[in-house]
Amino acid sequence: MQVILGSASIARKTILAEMGYQFTVMTADIDEKAIRKEKPEELVMALAEAKAEAILERLPIGDYAQRAEPTLLITTDQVVVYDGAIREKPSNEEEARQFMKDYSGGHAATVGSVVVTNLKTGLRKGGWDRVEVANLFPSA
């Protein structure tokens, strides 16, 4: 089976490599800020789907359908929810520092999604999960 990881995430690459998978990395290069949803669960799913679609546009799908072995495309997204607001990747170092300060002694959640597309069959499945974190960085 071939795997295409639709992410440049070091953590995701490490997981697949440690599991013994050979894989290709392709990034989606989408404007994530152009996709907006009110609920974090809907946002991470919409972003993972958009990443899959952007990568699929660059692939010769007919070639994958003819192969004996399936090829899986894996796309993901993750956001933090703090004080009821969705926080995506900080845009600069100052914003990152502010996020960390805000989280000190507070309560946050991460919401992540995974979408897997079988390029041989066209079948796509995905889902999300939410992890609640209290006192992420306890104040000293």
Catalytic residue among 31, 77, 83, 129: 77
- Please tell me the distance from the alpha carbon of residue 132 to that of residue 4, in angstroms, as a whole number: 30
- To the query of whether residue 63 is one of the catalytic residues in this protein, the response is no
Q: 50, 30 in Cβ contact below 8 A?
A: yes
Q: How far is CA 110 from CA 27, 77, 84, in A?
A: 22, 10, 12
What CA–CA distance (Å, rounded) separates 96 from 1? 38
Q: Report the alpha-carbon distance of residue 131 to residue 65 in Å, rounded.
A: 36
> What amino acid positions are annotated as catalytic residues?
77
